[in-house]
Amino acid sequence: MGNEGQEIKGTGFINRMGATRYLVSRAPQALIVAGPGNAKFDLAGAGDRPQHFYIWNSLGLAPSVGLGLALAQPKQQVIVLDGDGGTLMNPGALVTIARLAPFNLLHIVWDNGEYQLTGGQPTATATVTDLAAMGRGAGLQHVAAVTTMTEFEVGLETWLTEPGPWLAVVRIDKSPAPARPPKDPVWIKLRFMETVNK
Amino acid sequence: MMWTDIVFERLKANCLEMVCHVPDSVLAPLITRAEADPFFTVIPLTREEEGVGVLTGAYMGGRLGCLMMQVSGLGNSVNGLASLAIPYQIPFLMLISQRGELGEFNAAQIAMGRAARPLLDALDIQHFTLRRVDEVATLTDGAIKTAYTARRPVALFLSTEMVGWKKEG
């Protein structure tokens, strides 16, 4: 996917809230780890559930948490929702996921080319950096990049059924994320663990 | 028994299956043994803070583990400890190879080595130091037990008094 100089504001890119709702409807049993920023806000907006683990800070660690969970629970589908800012904070997670290669991990990166929560400062993906290419360079064997909702819907069927780990870089628009998840970290964790270990 | 034999045995006895690490010459024999033993899942990291995330996910999935690193890696892990492991109450063992103290040759190791304990104190993360082989089993078992009681990471330092130091001048 070439991002060079693309103007993405107001164009037909994917809406994160719509895509999150669709994802939850297609994978209702999956354990979902959502990174800080709008990934976790829109996951809450899709409807708060015990299967969601919301990371309130720790930019960059969502895929690492997903990796540990996927290794510990190989019979369960684990999905990570993160942003371009989180991915750029900890690109080493792509390397470690490629090395351990848990087949039950789907890592979705919502890429809007900006740090949306802090005022829309551009990230490197707005101009020079290609996260899907970084994933392939890290050694990931299953990498997808999509820019339309139809591509996302078709791709998701593959990502959820064919063994991974999958990295899906999803070009999204700049819609805000008004919903908020629960705020007590211990409560979020205990509720999540009860579901995981049921 | 060598300290490595005792730590290896205590990790197994306490079911710390997930071994996250960035390689270190002192820890190398332990990592090599864990790699050869199917009991362990060994996770080589690019940066130590990843290990805080991996062990958080593993713990929530019902598996316990430890993070093996040189003391520099503690510096690389601070925000993960402060923003994830502590507020979400995630217990694990940090096995830290100490640098910057007795016998250090490298000026660039001193400051992080000296800052490690005050930094852990500031985070209210308990730490213990292995100085003699005859204390290794007790301190390792005790540190792991306290981590699970406190629902917090606990650090165990490997002192150069016990493991020796690089002979470089």
Query: In this predicted model, what pLDDT tens digit does every residue of A45-88 receive, in sequence order?
Result: 999 999 999 999 999 999 999 999 999 999 999 999 999 999 99
Q: Which of B56, B64, B78, B152 to mutate to test the interface with A (most CBs of A within 10 A)?
A: B56
Give the pLDDT score at A12.
Answer: 72
Residue A166 bridge partners (DSSP): A106, A142
Give the pLDDT score at A2.
Answer: 40
Cβ distance A156 to A23 under 8 Å?
yes
Name the region of B99 (left: φ>0; alpha: ψ -120 to 50; beta: rest).
beta
Among candidates B61, B52, B55, which has minimal Cα distance to A72? B61
Cβ distance B62 to A73 under 8 Å?
yes
- What is the DSSP pairing of strand B93-97 with strand B64-70? parallel
Residue B69's alpha-carbon distances to A94, A122, B73, in angstroms, are: 20, 34, 6
Residues sharing a CB contact under 8 Å with residue B102, sequence separation 6 or more, in sequence order = B159, B160, B161, B165
Q: Which helix (H) or strand (E) holds B41?
A: strand B41-44
Cβ contact, residue pair A53, B60, below 8 Å: yes
The residue-averaged pLDDT of B92-107 equals 96
Determine the residue type at B55.
L
Give the pLDDT score at A11.
Answer: 56
Phi and psi at residue B150, to the nearest 5°:
-80, -15
Give the pLDDT score at A198.
Answer: 84
Q: Which two tokens stand for residue B135?
A: 């204390």
User: Which residues of chain A fall below pLDDT 50?
Assistant: 1-10
- Round the average pLDDT of chain B to a whole number and report it: 97
Residue A79 bridge partners (DSSP): A32, A106
With H, G, I as helix, E, B as strand and everything else as coil, classify residue A53.
Answer: strand
Residues on chain A bordering chain B, Cβ-to-Cβ distance under 8 angstroms: 33, 53, 55-58, 60-73, 90, 92-93, 95-96, 99-100, 185-186, 188-189, 192-193, 196-197
Cβ contact, residue pair A196, B56, below 8 Å: no
The residue-averaged pLDDT of B125-150 equals 98
d(C-alpha A120, C-alpha B26), whole Å: 45
Q: What are the DSSP E strand ranges found in A112-178?
A: 114-115, 121-122, 142-146, 166-171
pLDDT tens, B9-63?
999 999 999 999 999 999 999 999 999 999 999 999 999 999 999 999 999 999 9
d(C-alpha A186, C-alpha A194), whole Å: 12
pTM of this structure: 0.96
Residues sharing a CB contact under 8 Å with residue B39, sequence separation 6 or more, in sequence order = B12, B17
Chain B nearest CA to A122, separation (Å): 23
Residues sharing a CB contact under 8 Å with residue A126, sequence separation 6 or more, in sequence order = A3, A8, A113, A114
The reply to whether omega before A165 is within 30° of 0 (cis) is: yes
**To 5 degrees, how large is the angle CA B31–CA B34–CA B38?**
155
Nearest-Cα residue of chain B relative to residue A31: B61
With H, G, I as helix, E, B as strand and everything else as coil, classify residue A103.
Answer: coil
Q: Which helix (H) or strand (E) holds A191?
A: helix A185-196
Instruction: Provide, rounded to the nearest whole percent, the portion of chain A with pLDDT above 70.
Output: 94
d(C-alpha A64, C-alpha A182), whole Å: 21
d(C-alpha B80, C-alpha A58), whole Å: 6
Determine the residue type at B165.
W
Chain A nearest CA to B50, separation (Å): 6
ipTM at complex level: 0.97
* Cα A61 versus chain centre, distance: 11
